[in-house]
A = this chain, B = another copy of it.
C-alpha cells in the first residue's frame, strides 16, 4: 500500500479534527495512518448523557476502523504515541513501533485541568472520555445508594449533595440532568431517603452561566436551571476541594460528589512539537494551522491556538472545520498551490439544560426552553455518526421523554466502593 511515490500522512487523534481531516482526504493520493489510543471516535457533545445514565456508552461511540473501513488509503492503529521526532520525521508508539511521515497532523485534544491543584482530581473527576463518563455514572448512582444505607442523617445529606464546578455547557448539562434524576427518575425508588431532597449546586467563578452566550441568554439559562431545582452560585471561586466537599470562598459545602467542568488543558503531545504554547498548553500555529518552523506539521482541534481577532472555541464544529481545512491545505500543496488562511465560521451555539430545556443562539435567532430543546435534539441526533446510533439515541430519548426513566442506570465499575472507601478514609 505504501507505494514510494505517495506521501505519507500521520494523523494523531481520531476526534472531530483528526477524523474529519482523514475523511476529507478520501480521494487524495496520500497514504494515511490514523493513530488513537482508543478504538473509537467519541461523540463528545453527548458524553454527559452517558455520565448521567441516559445513554449507554456504545450509543455515542463508533469504532474508528469501522467508520473508515471502505477508505482504502487509511490504516488505523490503536496505540499510544510516546514520541515525535521532527528531524527524522517519525512518530513512535509505546508498544515500540516507529512510523515515518511526510506530513503530520496532531489533533490529540484536551483534558481537564485543575489550575495546578491536581490533588482535586480524585475528589472532583472531569468528563472527557467514556471511562470518565462511566466512572462519574457510578459515583452519581452510588451516592444515592450510600445515602440509602447511611445510619447518620448528616452522612446521608452529604451523599445527597452534588456540586458541579464550572457553568460552561458541560457543567450546565450535568447540573440540569442531575436535578432531573433526583426529582423524577429516582422518585419512589428509595425507602429511607427522599431523592427529591438532593441538592444540586452549580458553582461558577465568573459572573454568569454559559459565558459564550449573550448575557440575556445566560439569564434565561440560569432561570431554567433554577426551575429544575439547581442552586446557581456565581462570582465565587472554589478555594478548596477535599473528600468532604467544597470550600466556596469561606463557606463549606458538605458534598460527597463533586464534578469538575471548570478547565481544560491541551494534550501533553503539544509540548513534543517544540513550538511555543499558550497558557492552556495549546500549540501556537500559523494561519494555515502549520508550525512556524515545520510547515509539514499541522495542529488541529482543541490542541491548536490560532492568533485570530476572535478566539476559536474548543467545540466540535470548530474542530471539524480545522480538520477539513488541513485536508484542503495538503491537497493544495500536492498541486504546488496555496490557499487562504483558516477562518472559523460560527454557526451558533446550543446548550442543553435538562429535561426539555435549552438555549440556542444562531445568527439573529434566539430560542430558549422547549423550542430550543427540540432544535438542540435535532442537531445532535443529526450529527451523531452513523444512522444506527441516531436511531438508538432517538428511541432512548423518546422513551425517556414519556417515562422519565433513564436507560443506562447500571453501575459497571467497581470504583464506587473504592471511591467511597477513599472518601470515608
Q: Which of B59, B141, B388, B413 contacts A405 (CB 8 A)?
A: B388
- In the bound complex, do residue A410 and residue B149 qualify as a contact, i.e. CB atoms below 8 Å apart? no
Interface 1/0 per residue, A62-77 and B, CB below 8 Å: 0101100110000111
Binds B, one of A184-192, A213-221, A239-247, A360-368: A184-192
Mask, A128-156, CB within 8 Å of B = 1, is: 00110010000001100110110100000
Task: Report the separation of the CA atoms of residues A40 and B134 in the bound assembly, to the nearest whole angstrom.
Answer: 15
Q: Is B145 touching A409 in the complex (CB atoms < 8 A)?
A: no
CA distance A65 to B193 in the complex (A): 13
Which residues of A line the B interface, CB within 8 A? 1, 38-40, 56-59, 61, 63, 65-66, 69-70, 75-80, 93, 95, 97, 130-131, 134, 141-142, 145-146, 148-149, 151, 188-192, 388, 391-392, 395, 399, 405, 407-414, 417, 420
CB distance from A72 to the nearest CB of B (A): 9
One of B38, B66, B142, B391 near A395 (C-beta < 8 A) = B391
The docked-state distance in angstroms from the alpha carbon of A327 to that of B63 is: 47
In the complex, what distance in Å separates the CA atom of A407 from the CA atom of B58? 7
Q: Can you list 12 pairs linking A and B with CB atoms under 8 Å apart?
A: A39-B145, A56-B57, A56-B408, A57-B408, A66-B409, A69-B189, A80-B417, A95-B146, A95-B149, A95-B420, A134-B412, A392-B395
Cβ–Cβ contact B65 & A190, under 8 A = yes
| Separation of A97 and B145 alpha carbons in the complex (Å) | 14
Q: How far is the CA of A39 from the CA of B58 in the complex (A)?
A: 20
Closest chain B residue to A191, Cβ basis: B75
A77: contacting residue among B70, B80, B149, B395, CB under 8 A = B149
Across-interface contacts of A408 in B (CB, < 8 A): 56-58
The 3 closest A-B pairs by CB, nearest first: A56-B56, A58-B408, A75-B191
Q: Cα distance A420–B94 when bound, in Å?
A: 12
Contact A410 B78 (CB under 8 A): no
A97 touches B151 (CB 8 A): yes
A40-B410, A66-B189, A75-B191 known, 6 other contacts, Cβ within 8 Å: A66-B405, A77-B149, A95-B420, A131-B412, A388-B405, A388-B407
